[in-house]
Structure 1
Amino acid sequence: MTESELDIHRGATEIAEALRADVREGLSAEQKWLPSKWFYDAAGSRLFEDITALPEYYPTRAEREVLAREAAGIAKLTGAHTLVELGSGSSEKTRLLLDGLREHGSLRTFVPLDVSEAALAEAVEAIQADYPGLDVRGVVGDFTEHLGLLPGEPPRLVAFLGGTIGNFLPADRGKFLRSVRDVLGEGEWFLLGTDLVKDPETLVRAYDDSAGVTAEFNRNVLRVVNEVLGADFDPDAFEHVAHWDAGNEWIEMRLRAPEAMRVSIPGAGLEVSFEAGEHIRTEISAKFRREGVTAELADAGFEVEQWWTDAGGRFGVSLARAMS
């Protein structure tokens, strides 16, 4: 796959600038944090694919169950000419939607958007090989910044799967949903995957697996900071923490410094001190209830037409139409 086959809105310079800004803000805060999007370089994307196959990590299997059952109906209802996937990763689950739309006869273009150029290039190459004749337009970008640049012929179906919507804080979530609505014409479609509230033990196990894969994925954010900004983090020195916040109904992933340390980040002009036991919050993963999803989508200008869950009621998928 050549670079020219991807529409790149976020190259190395833009990545470094964005990471620098996030590191300065997040690691200078009283309660340190880093955005979860920085997990996903090539190594992080591979680790996440490994996570989706773990026995403890039910969301991928539960969402796939819904899509396998409902893809043909989604295609018939939407008649989409263009499928857009935000944060596509390997696009593995998306094949169910591609198959449904192709069999329905409406599909013309697939537009996967991902922040990781390496992961996207691999996914686009595989899709092009397996779906000859399909116009595949990979977009390297950030779905919080580049939605207005997405190509594709209406009617479009925008898919945001995997429960990734839960990584936004509530105010940012509303802003993001409105930004999706703003790029869609009236009557176009949004398919949203949301992990549902359930017992805390199941939730924590999904983010703290026995094989330690999620811990390595969590530490990868520090490797990215080292690589891009020349920092001297020792990722293996940080302990992985998965915590259920019952008040906010979300999982927090954190990295804990077991002892006092000082880290230099030349590319951000920072020297960062950690006390023993101090945390960096690296991800929130909010869990949802059906009525909350419906209300948030309505606030953003969508009407939910269909709501499905897997047989175990663990994961929700909603199909919503953009309203006037």
Structure 2
Amino acid sequence: MEDQDKPTIIAAERRDLWRLAEPSIWALKEDHAQDDPALSILRTLLDQPPWLEAYHLYDERGSQLFEQICALPEYYLTRTENSILAGQAERMIAAAPVDCIVELGAGTSEKTLHLLREQVRQRPGGTFAPIDVSLRSLALSRDAVGKRFPQLTFHGLLARYEEGFSSIEKRLPTLFVFLGSSVGNFTPVEFVRFFQHLSESMGSNDFLLLGVDRVKEGNILEKAYDDAQGLTADFILNVFRNINRVSGSDFAGEKMRYYSWYNPEWRRVEMYAVATATQEIHFPSLASSLVWEKGERILVEISRKFEPTRLQQQLQCFGLEPIGHFTDAKEWFSLLLFRKSSGARRA
């Protein structure tokens, strides 16, 4: 496909990295994909203590399980954030005059429909470009957005966050949307790397809308991440089925259990897989293996909680100027709006 047939939201110098995966959905060409999956996985499992990158959770089954988690009574994050968006989308879009909305880790984009509704009401036309690692989720988003907002141009990007946003054309005024407190899944090192890269990828007329879960009582948080139906446990342990599929490894799902707790010192919920029996896991493509001892924990995901004012100050160090703060009546969740500034400032 010629460059001129590819979406103009992708910077000209990066268009040859992308191919059409499905109608209106673009994927990176295989020769530009990142690390070999087995090697990337083994690197973190051999760390001390062992851990996994959270994006491995979102294969097709993992994405479906997470959609179910979002509807649980214990999991307040989704409905609280959705209520803020429903009530404040008009003000958010008015404060961020752009031609394009790019959503990071979009899933099916259900909450983002509030923003798209206001975008088409306040400005004719425009583009919506969700980024996600699940082709199924992007296809569902495409169909829903196309049905409700036919005046919008849809371009889904099948990629990880940084692979996607680094390809967006800087000269196109863009609102980057990062919802669900997914930023809480980053370790401190990943957080710094992510926002440094995002800021460098943003143009001078760009904005960021960031959803963050706030610090609150530990018992509320622990219930949210260890629901009575066991869906969160299924979601976390499903990661090993996905890892077996992409890396050729042989984790035995019947030899592990789920454990989570709120770590008040680090202000984060930690979600683990715990070995209930010793097993040796093989990675044939690497001619390597590791032993997972009974009782040993693998950190699968974290969910950090934030104090909004301090986070606003921190992101100023990345050249992001806070211009709006939207929250709920209980002040459990915040949506923070930033504008790209000319340079990083002192907090």
**Same fold (TM > 0.5):** yes
Matching of residue 192 in structure 1 with residue 210 in structure 2: yes
Report SS of the residue matched to 2:163. coil
Q: Is the 8 A contact 1:79 1:106 kept in 2?
A: no
Large movers: runs of 4+ above 3 Å: 10-15
Q: What residue in structure 2 maps to residue 72 of structure 1?
A: 90
The 1:320/1:301 distance shift into structure 2, 3 A limit, reads same
- With the length of structure 1 as denominator, give the TM-score of the two structures: 0.94
Shift of 1:24: 1.6
Partner of 2:38: 20
Q: Is the 8 A contact 2:135 2:158 kept in 1?
A: yes
User: Structure 1 CA distance, aligned partners of 2:32 and 2:294?
Assistant: 34
The residue that corresponds to 2:298 in the other structure is 280
After superposition, give the CA deviation of every residue in 1:253-287 in whole Å (9 maximum; x if it has no partner): 11000122222222343312111110010111110
Q: 2:81 aligns with which of 63, 66, 74?
A: 63
Residue from 8, 27, 30 that aligns with 1:8: 27
Which of 147, 167, 188 aligns to 1:149? It is: 167
Other-structure match for 1:241: 259
Q: Is the 8 A contact 1:84 1:157 kept in 2?
A: yes
Distance 1:47 1:152 in 2: 35
Q: How many pairs are equivalent?
A: 323
CA distance 1:153–1:118, change in 2 (3 Å): farther
1:44 aligns with 2:62: yes
- Aligned-partner Cα distance in 2 for 1:299–1:183: 15
Q: How far off is 1:152 after superposition?
A: 8.3
Q: Secondary structure at the match of 1:145?
A: helix
Between the two proteins, what is the percent identity of the paired residues?
A: 33
Q: For 1:1-324, list aligned pairs within 5 A.
A: 3-9=22-28, 14=33, 17-150=35-168, 154-324=172-342
Q: Which amino acid aligns with 1:87?
A: G
Structure 2 unaligned residues grouped into runs of 5+: 1-19, 343-347
- What amino acid maps onto 1:28 in structure 2? L
Q: In 2, are the aligned partners of 1:111 and 1:151 still within 8 Å (CA)?
A: no
Partner amino acid for 1:190?
L
Aligned residue type for 1:311 = A
TM-score after normalising by structure 2: 0.88
Whether the 8 Å CA contact 2:131–2:164 is kept in 1: the answer is no
Structure 1: gaps (5+ residues): none
- Provide the secondary structure at the position in 1 that maps to 2:50: coil
Residue type of the partner of 2:279?
Answer: M
Instruction: State the superposition RMSD in angstroms.
Output: 1.9
CA distance in 2, matches of 1:64, 1:25: 37
Cα distance change on mapping 1:107 and 1:179 into 2, 3 Å: farther
1:194 deviation in Å?
0.6
Conserved in 1, the CA contact under 8 Å of 2:129 and 2:156? Answer: yes
- 2:315 corresponds to which letter in structure 1? L
